Amino acid sequence: MNKKATIVISIALSAGLIAAWSAQQYISEKVAMLEQQAKVETVPRVVAAYDLPEGTKIAAVHVAVREVPKEWVSSGSILPDEFIQIEGQMVTVSLKKGDQLLWANTAQLKNKPFSDKINPGRRAVTIPVDTINSVSGMLVPGDLIDLYVSFEYRRKQITAPLLQGVLVMATGQQSRPSQDSKDSSSSRYSTVTLDTAPEEAAKLVAARQAGTITALLRNPGDDKVTHKGVRGDLANMLGIATPPPPIKRKPQVIYGDQNNKKLPNLAVNQTTEQVKKDERGVFELPEQEDLVSAWINTLPSVDINDEPSLGTHFSDEAILLIE
């Protein structure tokens, strides 16, 4: 091998070594750069665990904690330790799964839902009222009322107690007594919402469809109930009905060639019984426990001197004001 060939080979080997070293350095630098980029600083933040529509009441099941790159953290985002401060609030905008919860996107619930005021096992039923049935608009939430139903049965008008001692939960959209007695807007309503048992609600719906319901305001301390109703037309109730004209009896006809045939008794005027003025048309309903709302049982018993009996007291439900 001559000297010239040796020089060429040496140069080629040197160039190859330099190229290999350069490639290794490039790869090492690239790996180091990628590793550096992978070491992004992250911080924990509260995010939506799934899609949350606007108005959702925030609970622990609605959120999750995610590590978010620090440079991507939104201003006003919520730390895990701060979640307790927004629990029970509502979201004011729709959130997608993974969106960060922001202080600006949460707000306190202004009013609790009306359903929170209904005790377990009870139902709120709304009935329409007019000026008369609303006691001239003087009913307020917290009042106790009696409900009477008027309907026709066998061609006679009947008015009887339907429910007694029913709690008024709301008048119109007003669910608490008005603080300003001069505000007449609270007395303008066309519906009343009542606290009832499920079976009482069914009776109210049926009575509303088949008859006319009238509300009677009662004293909150009155625990007396009645089972009396009235029936008949108004003239008979007032005792001014005109008796029917007397019916003359026809003489019995006897034929000589026939056996005697006795004519049937003809209707005659029935003897009018003397009825007390305050009992005309009044009848007694059979005793039924379901005529009395459960609220009546929360009232104190009253003795003959109209003083609360010793040892009696209002229950927690009776003194609970509608909030």
CB 27 within 8 A of CB 79: no
Which burial class, exposed, middle or buried, applies to 258 when counting CB atoms under 10 A from its CB (0-12, 13-18, 19+)?
Answer: exposed
For residues 165 and 289, what is the distance between their CA atoms, to the nearest angstrom? 12
Q: What is the pLDDT of residue 318?
A: 36
Q: Tens place of pLDDT for every residue, the chain, 323 residues?
A: 577 777 767 777 777 788 888 888 888 888 777 776 667 788 999 999 999 998 898 999 999 999 998 888 888 999 998 998 899 898 999 999 999 999 999 988 766 778 888 889 999 999 887 766 666 668 888 889 999 999 988 888 888 889 998 999 988 876 666 555 444 444 677 888 999 999 999 999 999 888 888 888 888 888 888 888 888 777 777 777 677 677 666 666 666 566 655 555 554 444 444 445 445 667 777 666 556 666 555 544 444 344 333 233 333 433 333 33
The predicted pLDDT at position 184 comes to 47
Of 131, 130, 62, nearest to 98 by C-alpha is 62
State residue 102's pLDDT score.
93
Q: Which CATH class is domain 42-107?
A: alpha beta
Q: Where are the domains of the chain?
A: 42-107, 114-239+275-319
The pLDDT value recorded for residue 127 is 87
pLDDT attached to residue 128: 84
How crowded is residue 174: how many other Cβ atoms within 10 Å of its Cβ? 18
Q: Quick one: pLDDT at residue 256? A: 59
Residue 28 is predicted with a pLDDT of 82
Structure pTM? 0.49
What single-letter DSSP state applies at residue 182? T
Q: Whose structure tokens read 């924990």?
A: 44
* Residue whose entry in the numeric block shows the structure tokens 């040892």: 311
For residues 163 and 147, the answer to whether their CB atoms sit within 8 Å is yes
